[in-house]
A and B are shown apart, each in its own frame.
Chain A
Amino acid sequence: MYKLDITHAPDSGGHFGRFGGRFAAETLMQPLKEIETAFFEAWQDEAFQAERLDLLKNYVGRATPLYHAKQLTAASGGAQIYLKREDLTHTGAHKINNTIGQGLLARRMGKKRVIAETGAGQHGVATATVAALFGMHCDIYMGREDMARQMPNVLRMRLLGANVIPVDSGTATLKDAVNEALRNWVASCEDTFYIFGTAAGPHPYPLLVRQFHTVIGQEARAQILKQAGRLPDVAVACVGGGSNAMGLLHPFRDDESVRLVAVEAAGLGLDSGKHAASLAAGKAGILHGNLTFLLEDDEGQVQGTHSISAGLDYPGVGPELAYMLEQGRLELDAATDDEALEALQLLTRSEGIIPALESSHAIAAGVRIAKTMSADQIVLINLSGRGDKDMNTVFKHLGWMEDGS
């Protein structure tokens, strides 16, 4: 049985220190309050939790393995590297943990339609999957640029019966998909549930998404204690909005000996201005319903971001991660596009596991950290998703031809 109590909860307004909150248009205030109420009721409801845990086990395939990557460890020449295999979940990424939870909540609230934003398409696929499972109408908002670089996921969503709506406004990437989903939700909140994909947005989404993903860290914590007899020295996760990071890191927050590392997308380099590192290079601002670190200019105009991975290509970050950083409980790291590509190949060749480009950022930083440590130490890395969806991008960057020559 999983722990049902909520630790490190925000205040009643959804604030984590000065971050978070509910900076939403008036029309959405009451629907958000209703989701908050429904979530707290459901979280205490044994029947809800039993159904959720049953689906996580028998539909998603949890618990996911914790894998001691001995070849990757040997290649790194330092600490023992363990991988939390979220890539082995149904649909191929951690995102399904959250969509199962929010999908059940939507059904409990009597909503017949779900909408979602998606960047890499993993959250869109996970939402479309749950909509198919529960027989709900599903509309997915996706930036047109992201659709082009993640076409396999677009096709999967359509096959699952979802309607994929291209977003052309702004930069045509994840932030604009969120804007468009919010605009639709304002007009449809009566019968529609917005399945938000990351641990950001207006309260209660950061809390709700965190709670539905903490299963990752809870499993990993129990597994490492069983396999290695001790806690890891470092836990590492990539960060776009922060869903897989909060999922892995949150259950280790009170383990003071465990360093928690968030790896942001450094794109072409933090000095290039072409990256998505909002914790490292952003400043406090208000976007998409919460106060958090944002990549913006001096007058609050949100900037376009760059990352090779569509899932990290977001100018904000979850408010709780911003809070943990200011509290000194989070260490920052970053990996460039090139480092992520190298890490993808390293893990593929050494272990026969093809990671998602997002997760490859965590692998890159995790390996770099492991190199500086001794062989009796442990680095735990969240392998948040598998790389099938990224093959076209990878082939292009490696200069391979489409016909395989």
Chain B
Amino acid sequence: MSALSAPTTHSRLADVFESCKQQQRSALVSYLTAGDPDFNTSKELLLALAEQSDILEIGMPFSDPMADGPVIQAASERALAAGTHIADVFKLTASVRAAHPDLAIVLMGYANVPYAIGFDDFAARAKEAGADAVLIVDIPPEEGHICDTALKTHGLDRILLLSPTSTDERIQLACDYASGFIYYVSLTGITGADMGDMQSIHQKVDHIKSICGELPVCVGFGVKTPAQAAQVASFADGVVVGSHFVSHITDARNKADIRAALSASASSMRKAVGV
């Protein structure tokens, strides 16, 4: 195993964090699953969410989302039931990219989808669609051999996760491998669970930063309220909101309501990280 250096071209993610730093605020990192609840609605929702976000995570639906809670599991099931293919994920990415040239876009999902179409093909198409980075939940640094070369070749950052169970050795390993940012999972659990104790999250983030140096650290899993987002923003470089945004799709009585609810919610989160 050898550590990968960050892509040589200046990355959009680096620009986003630099710009947020200048504005003395955290980045809002927003998540939705591609194709949820259907292609056209998903496109509209992703575009609306992009308006308020610094970084957009676009989820690639998978049949077995093992690290996700009920809200994002249901999102994957809705997207697949609506016939979402990997080509649709790239089409949606390209639509968002066309409308938002400065937004950083992260494709997020599970290993088996990119593995099935081949990591090289996947990385080439992701880059062409306008993605900046990839976050694969079930490829830890130790298994990076199956994707690192392809991602590096096509100039995509690789976001890695750290969690409360990560030892110093693992933090060092992730920092050596990751580029773009570190995604700190705030709790030992699945997406959408209740947030852990804010003070211990703060301490762990400081500890990670002391090991990782310049690499930005974003915090996610369980951020549901603007108050939580504001607290996290006080010590992290970015705040990830996922299940909370997806739940607007789950809760909506009709598709027309979703966009308004999502935009309002994203707007209040965006204000919260700016404090």
Residues of A within 8 A of B (CB): 13, 21-31, 169-170, 175-176, 179, 182-183, 186-190, 283-289, 291, 294, 296, 298-303
Asked if A286 and B86 sit within 8 Å, CB to CB, the answer is no
- Given A21-B142, A23-B139, A25-B67, 4 new contacts (CB under 8 A): A24-B138, A183-B67, A183-B68, A285-B112
A296 / chain B contacts, CB cutoff of 8 Å? 112, 116
The interface stretch among B16-24, B125-133, B184-192, B262-270 is: B184-192
Q: How far is the CB of B147 from chain A (nearest CB, A)?
A: 11
The interface stretch among B47-55, B58-66, B203-211, B251-259 is: B58-66
Cβ of B167 under 8 Å from chain A: yes
B139 / chain A contacts, CB cutoff of 8 Å? 23
Closest B residue to A183 by CB, please name it: B190
Asked if B162 and A26 sit within 8 Å, CB to CB, the answer is yes
Closest A residue to B139 by CB, please name it: A23
Asked if A25 and B137 sit within 8 Å, CB to CB, the answer is yes
Asked if B66 and A300 sit within 8 Å, CB to CB, the answer is no
Q: Bound state CA distance, A369 and B117, in angstroms?
A: 38
Q: A30-B167, A187-B193 are in contact. Are A287 and B117 (CB under 8 A)?
A: no
Asked if B190 and A287 sit within 8 Å, CB to CB, the answer is no
Asked if A25 and B66 sit within 8 Å, CB to CB, the answer is yes
Residues of B within 8 A of A (CB): 62-69, 73, 77, 80, 85-86, 110-117, 137-140, 142-143, 146, 160-167, 170, 174, 185, 187-190, 193
Asked if B140 and A29 sit within 8 Å, CB to CB, the answer is yes
**Of the residues A23, A29, A189, A294, contact of B170 by C-beta under 8 Å:** A29
Asked if B188 and A300 sit within 8 Å, CB to CB, the answer is no
Asked if A299 and B85 sit within 8 Å, CB to CB, the answer is yes
Asked if A23 and B62 sit within 8 Å, CB to CB, the answer is no
Asked if A294 and B112 sit within 8 Å, CB to CB, the answer is yes
Q: What are 15 pairs between A and B in contact, CB < 8 Å?
A: A23-B138, A23-B139, A29-B140, A29-B170, A30-B166, A170-B64, A183-B67, A183-B68, A187-B187, A187-B190, A189-B188, A285-B112, A299-B86, A300-B114, A300-B117
B117 / chain A contacts, CB cutoff of 8 Å? 298-300
Q: How far is the CB of B137 from chain A (nearest CB, A)?
A: 6
At the interface, is chain B mostly helix, strand, loop or mixed? loop
**Of the residues A21, A23, A175, A291, contact of B64 by C-beta under 8 Å:** A175
Asked if B189 and A26 sit within 8 Å, CB to CB, the answer is no
At the interface, is chain A mostly helix, strand, loop or mixed? mixed
B137 / chain A contacts, CB cutoff of 8 Å? 25
Q: Bound state CA distance, A283 and B117, in angstroms?
A: 12
B73 / chain A contacts, CB cutoff of 8 Å? 169
Asked if A13 and B115 sit within 8 Å, CB to CB, the answer is no
Q: Bound state CA distance, A337 and B85, in angstroms?
A: 33
Q: Bound state CA distance, A148 and B174, in angstroms?
A: 44
Asked if A26 and B166 sit within 8 Å, CB to CB, the answer is yes
B160 / chain A contacts, CB cutoff of 8 Å? 26
Asked if B161 and A25 sit within 8 Å, CB to CB, the answer is yes
Q: Bound state CA distance, A187 and B192, in angstroms?
A: 12
Closest B residue to A12 by CB, please name it: B142
Q: Bound state CA distance, A172 and B164, in angstroms?
A: 31
Q: Bound state CA distance, A286 and B62, in angstroms?
A: 12
Closest A residue to B65 by CB, please name it: A179
Q: Bound state CA distance, A289 and B111, in angstroms?
A: 10
Asked if B143 and A23 sit within 8 Å, CB to CB, the answer is yes
Q: How far is the CB of B157 from chain A (nearest CB, A)?
A: 17
Q: Bound state CA distance, A179 and B188, in angstroms?
A: 16
Q: How far is the CB of B70 from chain A (nearest CB, A)?
A: 8
B110 / chain A contacts, CB cutoff of 8 Å? 286
Closest A residue to B109 by CB, please name it: A300
Asked if B189 and A179 sit within 8 Å, CB to CB, the answer is no
**Of the residues B65, B112, B163, contact of A300 by C-beta under 8 Å:** B112
Q: Bound state CA distance, A22 and B145, in angstroms?
A: 12
Closest A residue to B114 by CB, please name it: A300
Closest B residue to A21 by CB, please name it: B143
Q: Bound state CA distance, A183 and B69, in angstroms?
A: 8
Q: How far is the CB of A72 from chain B (nearest CB, A)?
A: 40
Asked if B115 and A286 sit within 8 Å, CB to CB, the answer is yes
Asked if B161 and A287 sit within 8 Å, CB to CB, the answer is no
